[in-house]
Every structure is written in structure tokens, then in C-alpha cells.
Structure 1
Amino acid sequence: MFHVNTTIIPDPNLRKVFYGIDYTPRGSQEPDCRVNLGNVIEDIKILSQVTTRIRLYGMACRQTEDVMKALQYLDLPDMQVILTLWVDSNKASWEKQTRLFWNLIDNNLVASRIIGISVGNEVLFRNEDPTKKKDHVPLETLDAYIQEIRRGLRDRAASAASSPNPTYSALGQQLAQIPIFSSDLGRNAHQIVDKVDWVLSNIHPFFAYTSASQAADWAFANFKDETLKAARGKPAMISEVGWPSGPSSAALGPAVPSIENLQTFVDTWVCQANKKNVPYYYFEAFDEPWKNSINPRESQWGLMTVDRKLKVTIPNC
């Protein structure tokens, strides 16, 4: 029998000032799949003190199921989630993602927590790499996947809404209202705007060779010039924005990874974004050391270390 400590001890260093935060549970990379529900629960105890919204990156290793369980165990009714079905060129992977997704939808009344479903992340951006053509996913395929999820939700919503059981009838209404989209770079938003309900863009001033002191202003301008312009009135938000704390050797010109620069970005971004009513998901909750073997430049973007130690002072907005 699973026993869990559900006590959330308030941390005075944490403040609920982030609109949302990107979160990848430890061990959610296939084929190892070492996601531990206990670890997820401890993560959520912390994340619930900095935000009310979490964005996930895939269904692999039952990570989404464990996040939903953690929210239930901890009795956090205000916490909401963007689910992601990972999309790559492996059709078997897509079929597995959808199987896990529909199992979650069909067997658990979680619709009230789901505030969006992302079909893929940076699919079009990865298509820009000419050295990896075998991994490319055509826009037509991405669109087909989006429509597949939309049809499935619509059918389930109609079936549930017609149920004499008021619980399932309410579920149908919730399912029908969940927006579907795909997150990508702002410059690619125009390619998918007609296929999605919302427009989500990953905006990283670091990769634009921008200094930490100018990063927030650059991100706001990029969101306005690319995402909002492409959205043409559709709801739009920033699905990733952040700054790395290391390694220092991974600098891109004036864009230098460091704790000091992470603090600068957090200080200049968070409260200003809240004041401007710009919806965003901070990238990201915790460091991901597993990325060291792929690209060290992408392993230290966490607001916290992998062992949940806060790197910076969270501003008081």
C-alpha cells in the first residue's frame, strides 16, 4: 500500500508569483522510466507555492498520471495543468502517447484540471535542422495529430454530456472547452495559427545572444512582434521563457549563464510580466542533469537545482 506524507510545509523563500512553470519529473525519459510518485509529490509541494499552473512535456513513463495523482493526494484544487503529447518522427511513439493520454481521460475525472493540451513541442523548430531530416515531422502530420486529438475529445465530450449522470454530464462540458495547440518558436507561429485554438511560443532571449539585463525587454518585444501578430486575435501565451545558471562555458556572446544573470532575469521578468498581464510558463522548475550528455547548455535552466534547492531570491510582486 502506498503511504505518502501530504503535509505541505510553507517555505518563506517561496512566493506564488509565477503565472505558470514548466515541469519535467525526474526519470521521465525512456527507456529508463524512473519516475517516482513520491518524488513527484515532493516536487508539487514546492511548485504549489510558486504557481497554480504546470506545463508538462509528454506522457512517457506515466509522468502525467503521477502528476495528477500527486495533485489529488495533496488536495490542491487550484492547481491546473497543460498536458503535452510528445511528437517526433516515431509513429509508434505517438501511438503510445495517445494510448496513455486517452487512458487518463477515460478512466480519471481529471478534465477540470486540464487547461490545455499541447500536441508536440518545437516540432517545426526541429524541422529546421537539415542534418536530421529523418527526424522531421511534416506540418501535415502535425496537423493530423492535432485533429485526431480534437476529434477524440469532441466525441468523448458529446458522449459524456448526454449522460444522465450529472458528474459525467459536467465532464462532457469540461472536455468540450479544453483548448488544443502546439508550442513552438514565435517565428513559426504563423504556420500553425489556423490549426490551433491557442498560440503558444517558446521565447528564449538567451539563444538570441541577448544580455541578461536586456533579456526581459527582448522577450516582451518578441512576443508582440511574432506571436501576437501571428495569432490574429486568438489567445496567445509564452510557453517557455527563462535563463540558464550554467555552465559558464556555454555563453553565447553577451548571453552568459550564471546565477547572477538568472537573478537579473527573474527580477526584470516576473513582476513586469504579471503587471502587463502576459501569460507565461517559466522555463523551468528544476535542473535536468540528464541533458548534460546531449547538450550541457540545456541542463541548468531550473529555478531550482535537481534536489529542489532554490537558486535565486523570488521577487515579491
Structure 2
Amino acid sequence: MKNYFSIIRICLSVFLIGSIVSCNEVKKSKVKEEVSEKEVSAKDILGNPEYQAMSYGGYRYADHSIEPTMEELKEDMKILHAMGVRMLRTYKLLKPQAANLVKVISDMKKEDPGFEMYVMLGAWVDCKNSFNSGNGEPIHNEENKENAAEIDRAVALANKYPDIVKVIAVGNEAMVKWAASYYVEPWIILKWVNHLQDLKKEGKLAKDLWITSSDNFASWGGGGEEYHVEDLNKLIKAVDFISMHTYPMHDTHYQPEFWLNGEGMDGKSDMEKIEISMLRAKEYAIMQYGNVKNYMESIGVNKPIHIGETGWASFSSGQYGADGSRACDEYKEALYYKHMRDWTNEAGMSCFYFEAFDEPWKGGDEPGNSEKHFGLFKVDGKAKYTLWPMVDKGAFEGLTRGGKPITKTFDGDREAMMKEVLVSPHN
């Protein structure tokens, strides 16, 4: 009889546990459905460390006319999703890559409800005769007639994929004066930002779609007084947030004071010198951010600032390499990436790190041009030193790029990688 009641109790226990587990599974399923159905806006994404941001270009060949295929874009999205990236930045719309990208993301979401990716859609803006393409020199106070088509396509894609396109950025480094072959005066950017903001007011764009321009820190008032013009002030008031670029790596050559400063280097080992130099690079970026923030507040504005672009090349045969500032290698790239993520995550800012993958078309014909080497992955899918820990953890297991599995650069030999690391010259 005792055995009989014991069996009954066991059966009841199993039944109750099964019911509880079943109820918990139902609850979890319901929560998942609620999360997937929840509308996520730019306000929810930007500044949220759970939505890591990345600048994306999928061009895999030196010939820029060869567009990434849909399958190649899908490969890249799987890799970036495995990294924890949830927000991408694109650059132009008269080429098909960006439109194809949002379609691929949309298709992947339908195939897998757990797949999540959003986009800051870039609309390229430049001046009349940009890149000497017209009948004369660039005219910076007149605009390229193709700008309107860029904006129209941005609007169309934002309306077609409102669940994916969360930000439109008008122009990329379009106001900074060192972009002598194409820059425009701020009133041109302001005109298009106001146009998009008006479409939101008229209900022709989603009201929670954020509008910005993505430009160098100097263009946002953080540099010389030549940028401090009334049209810039109006632009700062018109955008939903400031998307600011900062590149300490470039300034190891152009503004080398912070990089060449020998203070505090005496008696330090080579590795300590490198660590100090990279911390200075982080502080330099923070200073540029502070300059923009101070200017914004000086005109009575208080709105979010996010890092629209920053990065560090892993190789240079030119002025950032062995014969120049010695800034570029995979070890320094990894340190900079960590510093930028740590700073911006802690500060509640997004950082559209530049960039996910190397792009061979950039920087002309010289294979050692640093512009070709900003990716965290090489073109063939080899993960640079920054991402070696993720490879070790199996984050990219089963994923490929160009059909090749994701492996480490230098075959994972850290000693071989460190042999290419140079100590910066110090005064």
C-alpha cells in the first residue's frame, strides 16, 4: 500500500512539474512574441549597448562596380549578427547595395523571427562638379542635381521598410572643408534635413524616424571658427541628433602632438609605450567629442551626440606605417576598438565603428593604402586580432564569407602578429 501511495505521489509530482514547465514555456513564448512585435525606434536603439552599431560596406573587389550579391550580403549579416551588431550604417543610394541590404534584412527577418538588424540609411550629398565630374571645378555653394534622387530613394526605402530603417543621414563628411573635391556649404544639408523633417510632420515619413547628417567633428563646430556659421547653428537645431566622426589615427600624421609626445615614456617598455599611446588616442577622440558638445551647448542646444564613424587601420605602407607615425597594426586596432566601445557604452552613446570588413576598392591602386585596411575582418573572412576571442568562443561556428569559414589572421599565432607591431616614434 505504501508503495502504491508513493507511486501516486511521484506521478502527481511529475504531472505538476510538467504543468509548471509547460506554463513557463508558454509564458516564455508569449514574451518572445511580445518582444518581436514591439516597435523599436531610433530612440530605443541609439545609446543602448545591446544594439551595437557598425559602419558597413560589402564591396569585396578592387572594382567598385562589382556589387555584392544578395547571398554575399546575407553572409555578412549572419557574421555581424553573431558579433552582436544590431545597427548598421550605409552610405549612398544611387548604387544598389543599400537597397539590396535592407531587402536581405527583411527576408532574413521573415525566415527567422529571432534575427534583428536595423539601419541608418545614408543619402550621399555633394556639390556641383564634385570630383571634377562636371565642366569645371567643384562649386561648393551649389549642389549636385543627383542629391534629390538620393533623398527620394532614402524616403522610399524608409517607407517601404519602416521596421528596419530607423535613421536617415543626409551626407557623409559632406561639409568638412578638407573634402575639397565634393563638400557643400551647410545650407544645402540643412535644406534636405528640413525637407525630411517636414515629411515627418506631414505624415509622409514615420514620426519616430530620426534625421541627422554624419560629419567630421570640425563640421559640427568642434574645430575652427570658419565652421561657426548661422546655417550650422540652424542645422544643429534641425537634426534629431548629431552624428560625429573622430579619427585619431589620421591625426597621428596631421595633428601628431598627442601621438609624438614623449612625456611619461621614459623607462617604459615598448608594450607600455603602445598602451600609453592608444589611451592618448582615446582621450583625443573624447576631446573632439567635448569640443562638439561645448559648441552645441553654446548655441543653446542639448541633444544626443553619437559617434557616426571612428576606426583604426590594421596596416599602412604610407604615412601611418613604418616610415610614418607607425600607428597601424592589428594590435593597436584591437586596443582602439576596445577603448571606443568601453567609452561609448559607458557614456550611453552609439558608436558606428568603421568598419566591419576591409574594402579593396578604397584608397586607389596602392595595396598598402590604409583606407583598404579598416575592417575587423579581411575580405576573405579572416578575423583580425580584435575578434580572435570571439572565434575562440565559437561565435562564428558554421558561418562563412565567400564560402570560406571564419578563421584568425596569422593562423592565430599571436607571436607572429606581434612581430608586425611597431612602437610609435616619440620626441
TM-score normalized by structure 2?
0.59
1:261-293 CA-to-partner distances (Å, cap 9, x unmatched) read 112212333234323323211111111110131
Residue 155, structure 1, aligned to residue 155, structure 2: no
Residue number in structure 1 paired with 2:67: 34
Letter in 1 for 2:209: I
Unaligned runs of 5+ in 2: 1-48, 129-143, 222-231, 253-258, 260-276, 391-427
Distance 1:53 1:61, change over 3 A: same
Structure 1 runs, 4 residues or longer, greater than 4 Å off:
27-31
| 1:27-106 paired onto structure 2 within 5 Å | 32=65, 34-50=67-83, 51-75=85-109, 78-90=116-128, 91-106=144-159
Letter in 2 for 1:200: S
SS at the partner of 2:250? helix
Distance 1:207 1:86, change over 3 A: same
SS at the partner of 1:249? coil
In structure 2, distance between residues paired with 1:28 and 1:248: 20
In structure 1, distance between residues paired with 2:289 and 2:351: 10
Check whether the contact 1:248–1:257 (CA below 8 A) recurs between aligned residues.
Answer: no
Q: 1:312 aligns with which of 360, 376, 385?
A: 385
Residue number in structure 1 paired with 2:273: none
SS at the partner of 1:120? strand
Tell me how large the CA RMSD over aligned residues is: 2.8
Q: 2:312 aligns with which of 228, 243, 247?
A: 243
Distance 1:290 1:69, change over 3 A: same
Q: Which has the larger radius of gyration?
A: 2
Distance 1:23 1:238, change over 3 A: same
Check whether the contact 2:64–2:361 (CA below 8 A) recurs between aligned residues.
Answer: no
In structure 1, distance between residues paired with 2:188 and 2:338: 40
In structure 1, distance between residues paired with 2:68 and 2:118: 20
1:165-209 CA-to-partner distances (Å, cap 9, x unmatched) read xxxxxxx6xx11111111111122132312312111101111221
Query: Percent of pairs identical after alignment?
Result: 22
Check whether the contact 1:30–1:61 (CA below 8 A) recurs between aligned residues.
Answer: no
Check whether the contact 2:330–2:386 (CA below 8 A) recurs between aligned residues.
Answer: no
Aligned residues: 279
Residue 118, structure 1, aligned to residue 189, structure 2: no
Unaligned runs of 5+ in 1: 1-15, 158-171
SS at the partner of 1:54? strand
SS at the partner of 1:180? strand
Residue number in structure 2 paired with 1:145: 192
Letter in 1 for 2:174: V
| 1:120-135 paired onto structure 2 within 5 Å | 120-125=171-176, 127-129=177-179, 132=181, 135=182
In structure 2, distance between residues paired with 1:54 and 1:129: 24
Check whether the contact 1:206–1:255 (CA below 8 A) recurs between aligned residues.
Answer: no
Check whether the contact 1:28–1:61 (CA below 8 A) recurs between aligned residues.
Answer: no
State the Cα distance separating 1:244 from its structure 2 match.
0.3
In structure 2, distance between residues paired with 1:198 and 1:30: 35
TM-score normalized by structure 1?
0.78
SS at the partner of 1:262? helix
Check whether the contact 2:91–2:124 (CA below 8 A) recurs between aligned residues.
Answer: yes
Letter in 2 for 1:98: I
Residue number in structure 2 paired with 1:9: none
Q: 1:183 aligns with which of 214, 227, 249?
A: 214
In structure 1, distance between residues paired with 2:353 and 2:342: 12
